[in-house]
Structure 1
Amino acid sequence: MASLSLAACVAPQPPVPRTSAATLEAARANADDGSAWAQECADWDEWDKRAQPFRVYGDTYHVGTCGISAVLVAGPEGHVLIDSGTRNGARVVLSNIRTLGFQPQNLRGVLTSHEHFDHVGGLWWVHQNTGAPIYTSPEALEVIESGEEHPEDPQFGMHDPMHPVPRAVVSAITPGTPIGIAELTFTPVATPGHTPGALTWQWESCEAGYCKSVVYADSLSAISADKYRFTDHPDYVQAFRDGLARLAALDCDILLTPHPSASGMRDKVLASDWQSGMTCAAYAADRLAVLEERLAMEAAQ
């Protein structure tokens, strides 16, 4: 499927210098392999705890904190960031991009997973410091613009508002249609359930002539406010199951998740094998089992 350029969807960014081949190669060669991150961070660690960035594969880097992922995909025409972390975590993200030898001003787009403050609460800060436009799902767009929770979010009422992001810099994408940003291509996959507008992202990263499919799969946990019952929302539950089926079917060499521990990232780093441990299919099956347990519990009540 051909990719869709989103350049016309938002206000144009000022020209930025290309990232030289030498800079890209230096980042690949000098970036940590994740060992420092694994030593500094524990499973299910604090969301804003500072951690060293590291290279995952090719030009894909983890630039998030110990407890929240943010992923940078670098390219000569500009870079793309997936998720910002919290408002405070976004400072760590931008600092980590610089640590790798890249300039945050070379960000050409920011993609989102799901519309909760722990993953996108720093979008305003990232945009203010980079000018990068933001691409999200139609359901999440209003949340990001207003800073307020989606009324159909199972966790509605549980979170403080986020800093709103100007509508002019946020665009809604079409799930299933690949998008091209700075000559990098990403495929958004609708995986609602944890939130109505949750997205999973898939792209290809290459090194030494070998390309792998990288998937940043959304949280997909059936968590809610105390009074919310999934069984009262059958259409939402079906959309939840459909998204899990899409995730399970993806070509998925490397699995990353917004909460690193959800996919066993620390274990993968310590094993020096990104294709070990949990796969997309296994992750989807695990999330489906949790959903079914929640539905059974509600039925019993």
Structure 2
Amino acid sequence: MRIHHKFHMGIVATLAAAAAIAPSPARATDPPEWWSPVKPFHIAGPVYYVGTKGLAAYLIRTRSGAILLDGTLASNAPLIERNIESLGVPLHSVRLLISDHAHDDHVGAFARIQRDSGARLLASAGDRWALEHGTPRGDTDYGVRRFGPVRVVGVVADGQTIHWGNVALTAHLTPGHTPGCTSWSMTIREHGVPHQILFLGSITVAGNILVGNHAYPAVVRDYRTTFAKLARMHPDILLTSHPEMAGVLEREVRHEAGDADAFLDPDALRRLVATSQAAFEHALAHASKAAKS
């Protein structure tokens, strides 16, 4: 059962001399889709896609200004800003930034976007330190990919609902991929019919060390708790931080061709959780065997 709380804005954290951290440059091994532009498009209700071909960023328009969920890589910041403005939304009207997890390919652009727009960033307690220090928490097999520090002005709890303008967004803590990974849900009305949208925080292993993770010792427990929580959720529309995980761009092609229900798929989350959990258990078994040998 979701718990709703009224969100009261207010600065609860300030950056303390964190400007010394330099973002990691894009790597040759990064997929080129991560910075390949796509034309922004409408998904449903007040939700629009403003990301790249391989990294999602979602704009939610409200009567009190816009909300930007994720920002992609630091090098994509100018592109994301242009995408927002191409929808007729002035950058200064972006009032809130929301993080789903503190990795450079999803929050790297936030430092510039926050500076250019004056928007305030909301995040979970588990990712607050990483965001404010530009350094993700947790041991990985690919090293540390830093990003520009960004000031967090609101910390959200599990089940907390943020009311902004005519929109209500509920935070669901789904840790594992990062200690503070957060999924977000909202209800929209399309042609008078209500639909539940879930913006899913990442649930892949993606290089996380599962055995002997000294920086994040609860990583295995958190993944399993998250899989169990998500298995009880049944959104009508699933939106992911890597668009291919939910076929977001492919659905847009169908939507543009006239399929009004292209984004509706009440079974999408169940399928993704099942495949992700199986991949996690396989990776864990492999890591455990390697640790014993």
Task: Give your verdict on TM over 0.5.
Answer: yes
Out of 202, 210, 213, the position equivalent to 1:229 is 210
CA shift digits 1:202-230 (9 cap, x unpaired):
111223212211111112111226xx333
Is 1:161–2:149 an aligned residue pair? no
Question: What does the per-residue CA deviation read over 1:14-55, in whole Å, with 9 as the maximum and x for residues that have no partner?
Answer: xxxxxxxxxxxxxxxxxxxxxxxxxxxxxx752111211000
Residue 149 of structure 2 aligns to a residue in which SS?
Answer: coil
Aligned residue in 1 for 2:57: 70
In 1, the alpha carbon distance for the partners of 2:211 and 2:70 equals 27
Aligned match of 1:142 in 115, 129, 151?
129
Cα distance in structure 2, aligned partners of 1:248 and 1:275: 18
Q: Aligned to 1:144, what secondary structure does the other structure show? A: helix
Q: Secondary structure at the match of 1:164?
A: coil
Where does residue 97 of structure 2 map in the other structure? Answer: 110
Structure 2 CA distance for aligned equivalents of residues 229 and 207 of structure 1: 41
Tell me if structure 2 keeps the 8 A contact 1:90–1:125. yes
1:170-223 alpha-carbon deviations (Å, 9 max, x no partner)? 321112211222342111111111111111111112232122111111121112
Tell me the equivalent position of 1:289. 278
- Over the residues paired in the alignment, what is the CA RMSD in angstroms? 2.2
Q: Does 1:274 align with 2:285?
A: no
Q: What is the rounded CA distance, in whole Å, between the counterparts of 2:111 and 2:283 in structure 1?
A: 34
Provide the residue aligned with 1:53 in structure 2: 40
Matches within 5 A, 1:232-247: 235-247=218-230
CA contact (8 A) 2:124 2:157 kept: yes
SS across alignment from 1:299: helix
CA distance in 2, matches of 1:67, 1:161: 19
Q: Which residue of 2 aligns with 1:129?
A: 116
Residues 79 and 189 of structure 1, relative CA distance in 2, 3 Å threshold: same
Structure 1, unaligned runs of 5 or more:
12-43
- Number of residue pairs matched by the alignment: 263
Question: Which residue of structure 1 aligns with residue 73 of structure 2?
Answer: 86
Alpha-carbon contact 2:234-2:267 (below 8 Å) kept: no
Structure number with higher helix proportion: 1
Question: What is the one-letter code of the residue matched to 2:7?
Answer: S
1:28-83: per-residue Cα shift (whole Å, max 9, x none)?
Answer: xxxxxxxxxxxxxxxx7521112110000111101111110000111111111100
TM-score by length of 1: 0.81
TM-score (normalizing by structure 2)? 0.83
Q: Is the 8 A contact 2:57 2:71 kept in 1?
A: yes
Q: Percent identity?
A: 27
Describe the SS at the equivalent of 1:247: helix
Does the 8 A contact of 1:154 with 1:223 survive in 2?
Answer: no
Instruction: Please say if residues 268 and 276 of structure 1, whose CA atoms lie closer than 8 Å, have aligned partners that are also in contact.
Output: no
Specify whether residues 182 and 56 from structure 1 end up closer, same or farther in structure 2 by C-alpha distance, changes over 3 A only.
Answer: same
What residue ranges of structure 2 are gaps of 5+ in the alignment? 14-30, 256-261
Distance 1:154 1:289, change over 3 A: farther
Report if aligned partners of 2:96, 2:120 keep a CA contact under 8 Å in 1.
yes
> 1:87 corresponds to which letter in structure 2?
A
C-alpha contact 1:149 1:156 (8 A) present in aligned 2: no
